[in-house]
Chain A
Amino acid sequence: MADLETVERVKEIDVDKYKYGFKTEIESELAPKGLSEDIVRYISAKKDEPEWMLEWRLAAYRRWLTMEEPDWARVDYPKIDFQDLHFYAAPKTTEGPKSLDEVDPVLLETYAKLGIPLKEQELLAGVRKHDEPSQLDDAGVPSYGSGKVAIDAVFDSVSVVTTFKEELAKAGVIFCSISEAVKEHPELVKKYLGSVVPQSDNYYATLNSAVFSDGSFVYIPKGTRCPMELSTYFRINEENTGQFERTLIIADEGSYVSYLEGCTAPMRDENQLHAAVVELVTLDDAEIKYSTVQNWYPGDADGKGGIYNFVTKRGDCRGKNSKISWTQVETGSAITWKYPSCILRGDNSQGEFYSIAISNGRQQVDSGTKMIHLGKNTSSRIISKGISAGKSSNTYRGLVSAHRKASNARNFTQCDSLLIGDQCGAHTVPYIEAKNSTATFEHEATTSKISDDQMFYAQQRGLNEEEAVALIVNGFVRDVLQQLPMEFMAETQKLIGISLEGSVG
């Protein structure tokens, strides 16, 4: 029996190196290569956007022309030729199917390979958190069952399937693609789009503002606790397609939402650019919990191929007593450049950042967070666990700052790095800026390897080397794993094992 398991395991490791490395053959519609005002107009026209949206995009594009690509991050990659990319790709079946039956069966198959068959997802009520009773029962609001997951599936650039929409609508939650929101909720989009990450924020965010393809839009009305976890699965599919998601989540006064984002991408040789922008806004007493599992193709053993992941994620705790919590598990991508941040503007607001970043092979990760304390009595917490193996480089880069008026700001930061093998690098670059005396900041960082004692202990009990490493690493990242929603937690533990394959021995 045990032998059989071993055989299975070996199969999984050798044959299925990158589990999600397949390519779906499906007709798609591409914009011509390159970037110009015409392409921006083309994208806008394809999406049938109103004039103000086009103007917004064009303003961003003109701004982008004047900007230079940043080079401060500890990542190394050949210069991107922006004129050699397609900035828009849409699967042909964009008519907005009303039910799963109308969806292209090839698409459904893709989801099935990803391990997230939508049909199953519809019935995925079994993922409820045991310790969390359905909050809506008592409040007299219709119950939806707290364990449900609604998915806004982004296949390449256009949302094709949205489930659970009606149920969400009953609660007053708006969960749709951003292109739909532009048309149907222009007042909300106009008010909040670009209010957290302005058009001119940085090179990639500006590029995104000009050519963003699609993404999710979430609005949680006042006093509403979103009845289910919202989730988007992103896939990059078409060859040479930059994918530029734009996500905007607004939690109105006293509301709560938990949002999951999981990503995988097919294996291929040419690097793919991914420059997303995610904006979160919490008003008074609202809370957003944003979780990411990122498992894009990291490139082959020599570092060829793989996704370039240049993401700008930022949350604005605009209201008092509001809270934004980022949890990320970064195992994929050839290059990750990502700093989910919190602007703690409202008094008593809270920001959290929990991160696991695993790099193997020749992956390069430069990730971290910014906690900007502006309001009074604001607090933030950063737990970052970096694991580097192979020939990878893993950098934590973070900023914690308290402004003059942010009295009683409080921060606790812990960044731990684990090194597996003597050819990888682990770096920690924290910036700590306390501009008033009542701020209390604590920062702690350690770097070490898995101790021989731990390995010996685990192996002595019959685990092989890789299993032992996976077990110890899972223990090392435990603090962060616990922050993940239930359905991600189990998957992530497995993912950690897969990501570290080939890192020992």
Chain B
Amino acid sequence: MTASPNRTPAEEAFVSGFAAAEAALPSAEWLKRKQALAAFNELGLPHRRIEAWKYTDLRNLVDGAYPAQTDATLVDVEQVQELAARSIFAGIDRATAVFVDGRFRSELSALPEESAIEVLSLSDNLADAPKWLSENLGSVVPQADDAVAALNLAYMSDGAAIYVSGKCEQPLELVFVHSSGEPRTVSQRVLIVVDDEASCEIYETHVSPANGRYVSNVVTEVVLGDKATFDHVKTQNDGSEAVHLANLHAKLGAEAKFNSFSATSGARVSRQQAFVEYAGEHTDANISGVYLLADKQHGDSTLVIDHAVPNCTSREMFKLVLNDHARGVFQGKVTVRPHAQKTDGKQMAQALLLAPDAEFDSKPELEIFADDVVCGHGATAGELDEDLLFYLRARGIPKDQAMALLIAAFVGEAVEEVSSEAVRDALNEMATSWLTTHKTGALC
């Protein structure tokens, strides 16, 4: 390993910190941490010269050393409970698995009692892992060229391994809490294996005290069997100084249904990547999301949808509301491989720019090698429509309220993609409360 002369402090810390951290991290023979670190050492943090990271330059955005979190922190139970209670899913009957600063906390969790679902802490089960875990962990994530995923594997401290064997009645919420403290990197991993014809609903909540300063690196792998159904709703409300890096990798069996929604309002910098790979025919995938960003927040959503087999559909719908100096990025790549005929792919990314200095960068990409397909994408950027605003105000609705109505309607279109009504209501409520706290100053 030769150190590159112009490494950033963050990169330096990641590479040099490994030797000390390794001993403290849970290990298993088949877990190739060293190779992952070597890969990261080669790659370094992604930067704007790498096409896929053109708009999100991590070398620049990860602004200092964030040593890896290896051991459990002292937990202020009250604080954690207070943070977990902010979850938008709090009003819904659900099981919970709570992770604090990168460690599973069984005493704070209420694991599901159904027999259809099994939830394990990764750190406790790595050494003596059941077959479904050891065989699937890392099976969907390509490590070769993804520095963030490599870093995750090298430093992964804990996470959830979920095995769904039947139809789950109760949703499960994974809560990732970050307490405030020294700058650090928390790497966690989620593996969800859904058997043939099984189904589950997973919520994911990321919270922290307002000014938490940390890098949260979460890699989620989803393996869906044939005819499996998977609903996923994520809310990311990390601290205003945090960097949130999330990778979602899904491999979908035949006739499976995959539905993933994310609502992002937290973190100084966030990059969420979703990679969907179709392994069987007649499968539907729906990925949608809402970004509500203000101040100098930077939110990036990058999707790669790989139609490797015929007769599948994909739908993406993203809505970004950008205020102040916020910058929203959307990159969506839909690949239709040769012979993946009858593919139906649609993609839409729309941004609402509420302040003069807000910025939206979009790169919706189609890569098509089969002829009998229907694929399309759309992207728009603009401010609130004056005419619509006028229409509402002419009917006596005050400007603030009129704007809130229009923004809510804009966001609502993406929220519609969520199947559970209770969750949709909770998401709309969250959007409304964001609008009230982030007065759209420039236009009011």
Which residues does A use to contact B, with CB under 8 Å? 72, 404, 417, 419-449
Contact string against A for B residues 86-105, beta-carbon threshold 8 Å, 1 for contact and 0 otherwise: 00000000000000000000
Q: A404-B357, A432-B361, A434-B353 are in contact. Are A425 and B369 (CB under 8 A)?
A: yes
Q: Tell me whether A443 and B380 are in contact (CB under 8 A).
A: yes
Q: Tell me whether A447 and B368 are in contact (CB under 8 A).
A: yes
Chain A residues with CB under 8 Å of B363's CB are: 429-432
Q: Tell me whether B379 and A441 are in contact (CB under 8 A).
A: yes
Residue with the highest number of chain A CB atoms closer than 10 Å, among B371, B380, B383: B371
**How far, in whole Å, are A424 and B339 apart by their CA atoms in the complex?**
11
Q: A425-B369, A436-B356, A448-B373 are in contact. Are A441 and B381 (CB under 8 A)?
A: yes
Q: A422-B341, A426-B368 are in contact. Are A440 and B376 (CB under 8 A)?
A: no
Q: A422-B339, A432-B363 are in contact. Are A437 and B377 (CB under 8 A)?
A: no
Q: Tell me whether B378 and A434 are in contact (CB under 8 A).
A: no
Size category of the binding interface on chain B? 35 or more
**Does chain A have a CB within 8 A of B359?**
yes
23 residue pairs from A and B, CB less than 8 Å apart: A419-B368, A419-B370, A420-B371, A422-B370, A423-B338, A428-B364, A430-B364, A430-B379, A432-B379, A433-B360, A434-B353, A434-B381, A437-B353, A437-B358, A437-B382, A441-B380, A446-B376, A447-B366, A447-B373, A448-B374, A448-B375, A449-B372, A449-B373
Partner of B365, one of A419, A427, A439, A449: A427
Q: Tell me whether B375 and A446 are in contact (CB under 8 A).
A: yes
Partner of A445, one of B339, B356, B373, B378: B378
Q: Tell me whether A417 and B380 are in contact (CB under 8 A).
A: no
Q: Tell me whether A72 and B359 are in contact (CB under 8 A).
A: no
**How far, in whole Å, are A438 and B378 apart by their CA atoms in the complex?**
19
Q: Specify the main secondary structure of chain A where it touches its partner.
A: strand
Q: Considering only CB atoms, which chain A residue lies closest to B375 in the complex?
A: A447
| Minimum Cβ distance to chain A for residue B171 (Å) | 36
Which residues does B use to contact A, with CB under 8 Å? 51, 338-339, 341, 351, 353-383, 442
Q: Tell me whether B379 and A422 are in contact (CB under 8 A).
A: no
**How far, in whole Å, are A431 and B378 apart by their CA atoms in the complex?**
12
Q: Tell me whether B362 and A432 are in contact (CB under 8 A).
A: yes
**How far, in whole Å, are A428 and B331 apart by their CA atoms in the complex?**
12
**How far, in whole Å, are A448 and B375 apart by their CA atoms in the complex?**
7
Number of residue pairs across A and B with beta carbons under 8 Å? Answer: 120
Q: Tell me whether A421 and B377 are in contact (CB under 8 A).
A: no
Q: Specify the main secondary structure of chain B where it touches its partner.
A: strand
Chain A residues with CB under 8 Å of B373's CB are: 419, 447-449
Q: Tell me whether B360 and A434 are in contact (CB under 8 A).
A: yes
Chain A residues with CB under 8 Å of B355's CB are: 437
Partner of A444, one of B365, B372, B376: B376
Q: A422-B372, A424-B371, A425-B368 are in contact. Are A443 and B378 (CB under 8 A)?
A: yes
Chain A residues with CB under 8 Å of B375's CB are: 446-448
Other than the known A422-B341, A431-B362, A437-B383, what 5 A-B pairs have Cβ atoms closer than 8 Å?
Answer: A420-B371, A424-B369, A427-B366, A433-B362, A438-B356
Q: Considering only CB atoms, which chain A residue lies closest to B372 in the complex?
A: A449
Q: A437-B358, A448-B373 are in contact. Are A417 and B338 (CB under 8 A)?
A: no
Q: Which 7 A-B pairs have the closest CB atoms?
A: A437-B353, A419-B371, A434-B381, A440-B382, A446-B376, A428-B366, A432-B362
**How far, in whole Å, are A413 and B442 apart by their CA atoms in the complex?**
28
Chain A residues with CB under 8 Å of B357's CB are: 404, 436-437
Chain B residues with CB under 8 Å of A443's CB are: 362, 364, 377-380
Q: Tell me whether B377 and A434 are in contact (CB under 8 A).
A: no
Q: Tell me whether A429 and B365 are in contact (CB under 8 A).
A: yes
Chain A residues with CB under 8 Å of B442's CB are: 437
Q: Considering only CB atoms, which chain B residue lies closest to A395 in the complex?
A: B367
**How far, in whole Å, are A430 and B379 apart by their CA atoms in the complex?**
10
**How far, in whole Å, are A269 and B18 apart by their CA atoms in the complex?**
57
Q: Tell me whether A426 and B366 are in contact (CB under 8 A).
A: yes
Q: A443-B380, A444-B378, A445-B378 are in contact. Are A435 and B359 (CB under 8 A)?
A: yes
Q: Considering only CB atoms, which chain B residue lies closest to A443 in the complex?
A: B379
Chain A residues with CB under 8 Å of B338's CB are: 422-423
Q: A424-B371, A432-B361 are in contact. Are A445 and B381 (CB under 8 A)?
A: no
Partner of B353, one of A421, A424, A432, A436: A436
Q: Considering only CB atoms, which chain B residue lies closest to A418 in the complex?
A: B371
Chain B residues with CB under 8 Å of A433's CB are: 359-362
**How far, in whole Å, are A425 and B336 apart by their CA atoms in the complex?**
9
| Minimum Cβ distance to chain A for residue B353 (Å) | 4
Q: Tell me whether B365 and A428 are in contact (CB under 8 A).
A: yes
